[in-house]
Chains A and B, each alone.
Chain A
């Protein structure tokens, strides 16, 4: 749910990074935080357990520039990926404008990826959203590991609707910015369509 403030001349949009546990959602945000100039970012908040597993969400506000004299502020969120945190995931999806699905490319995580996509679709539907009609990007993360499914095969298994797909190694920042740019573009195009 984009918030357009004509007085402050700001567009505020919400992007949620979704995916199975330990897939790299938080790592994506941490990398974005590390490469963002101080004047373009706010404080990154991570509500996590003692073992650094996301408990509720990570949050990072960033300024991405101006369009038509309006500042574009994007609020990036991650959800907790562990299965039993479903109630929390539903809450974080409220008012979402775009979703990035961070898939874990490892062979043994294929089922977890598929379950997480199904969970995303269900939770979006409960909020009144349809994944088929909203900004959505798929990231195939951990491409550097030895036991990964070939990208073409993984893409075929996880693709929902012909969305942009990016290979990534989030720990090294590979593919992180491209993923973010793709979802930002989709959000702005969707804003234009829905106005």
Chain B
């Protein structure tokens, strides 16, 4: 069951970013991305500016969801790792803290065994942080400086919502 919204504070974001950065450097990855299972991009690191990160996040999440569907059909609880090998670039996707995935785009200069080993290490630390983030979100703890401010979204007034919706003109 989806247990509600995820709220990411700056300190957690920086910790996640630091793990992604280290993973990207260790593996000379083109892109390292953390996503949630709805396809939202949480954090990203890597020199490749040409990859459409929004599309990659959405497709990777759908890929994970479809693969887990396949797993259940064959009697498995899930597949924690997906590996897609290309002729120049490959993609490695691994589940983190149940609700998230780590997506890695890399090339043949790195052996897949090394990728698996480094990613396993990274997911261990990411899991710790994200499990905490989920718990905090579920407790509706939302202030970045730990002062007990009401959540951002409780502050939305009817006027603000109406103004945003009214101004949706798209072009």
Given contacts A3-B42, A6-B7, A194-B4, is CB(A37)–CB(B170) below 8 Å? yes
Which residues of chain B have C-beta atoms less than 8 A from A145's C-beta? none
Given contacts A75-B38, A191-B5, is CB(A5)–CB(B13) below 8 Å? yes
The answer to whether the Cβ of A152 comes within 8 Å of any Cβ in the partner chain is no
Q: With the chains together, A45 CA to B10 CA distance in Å? A: 31
Interface pick from B23-31, B75-83, B124-132, B159-167 = B159-167
Which residues of chain A have C-beta atoms less than 8 A from B151's C-beta? 195
Question: B34-48 toward A: CB 8 Å interface, digit per residue (1/0)?
Answer: 001111101000000
**Residue of B6, B39, B155, B162 touching A14 (CB-CB under 8 A):** B39
Interface pick from B58-66, B84-92, B107-115 = B58-66
Closest to A95 in B: B38
Chain B nearest CB, measured from A88 CB (Å): 7
Total chain A interface residues with beta-carbon distance under 8 A: 54
In the complex, are the beta carbons of B62 and A92 less than 8 A apart?
A: yes
Chain A nearest CB, measured from B39 CB (Å): 6
The answer to whether the Cβ of A118 comes within 8 Å of any Cβ in the partner chain is no
Interface pick from A20-28, A103-111, A154-162, A176-184 = A176-184
In the complex, are the beta carbons of B165 and A7 less than 8 A apart?
A: no
Q: With the chains together, A12 CA to B42 CA distance in Å? A: 10
Q: With the chains together, A64 CA to B154 CA distance in Å? A: 19
In the complex, are the beta carbons of A91 and B66 less than 8 A apart?
A: yes
Question: A71-105 toward B: CB 8 Å interface, digit per residue (1/0)?
Answer: 01001000000000001101110111000000000
User: Main SS of the interface on chain A?
Assistant: mixed
Given contacts A4-B7, A195-B153, is CB(A188)–CB(B66) below 8 Å? no
Which residues of chain A have C-beta atoms less than 8 A from B66's C-beta? 56, 88, 91
In the complex, are the beta carbons of B165 and A1 less than 8 A apart?
A: no
The answer to whether the Cβ of A42 comes within 8 Å of any Cβ in the partner chain is yes
Given contacts A35-B171, A68-B152, A95-B37, is CB(A6)–CB(B9) below 8 Å? yes
Which residues of chain B have C-beta atoms less than 8 A from A68's C-beta? 152, 155-156, 160
Which residues of chain A have C-beta atoms less than 8 A from B167's C-beta? 65
**Residue of A37, A67, A94 touching B37 (CB-CB under 8 A):** A94
Q: With the chains together, A178 CA to B55 CA distance in Å? A: 26
In the complex, are the beta carbons of B38 and A1 less than 8 A apart?
A: yes
In the complex, are the beta carbons of A188 and B161 less than 8 A apart?
A: yes
Given contacts A43-B54, A65-B167, is CB(A5)–CB(B42) below 8 Å? yes
Which residues of chain B have C-beta atoms less than 8 A from A129's C-beta? 2
Which residues of chain A have C-beta atoms less than 8 A from B168's C-beta? 64-65, 177, 180-181, 184
In the complex, are the beta carbons of A3 and B161 less than 8 A apart?
A: no
Q: With the chains together, A185 CA to B142 CA distance in Å? A: 22
Chain A positions within 8 Å of B, measured between CB atoms, are 1-7, 11-12, 14, 32, 35-37, 40, 42-43, 45, 47, 56-57, 59, 61-62, 64-68, 70, 72, 75, 87-88, 90-92, 94-96, 127-129, 177, 180-181, 184-185, 188-189, 191-192, 194-195
Interface pairs A-B: 7 shortest CB-CB: A95-B38, A128-B1, A195-B151, A91-B65, A195-B153, A3-B40, A2-B5
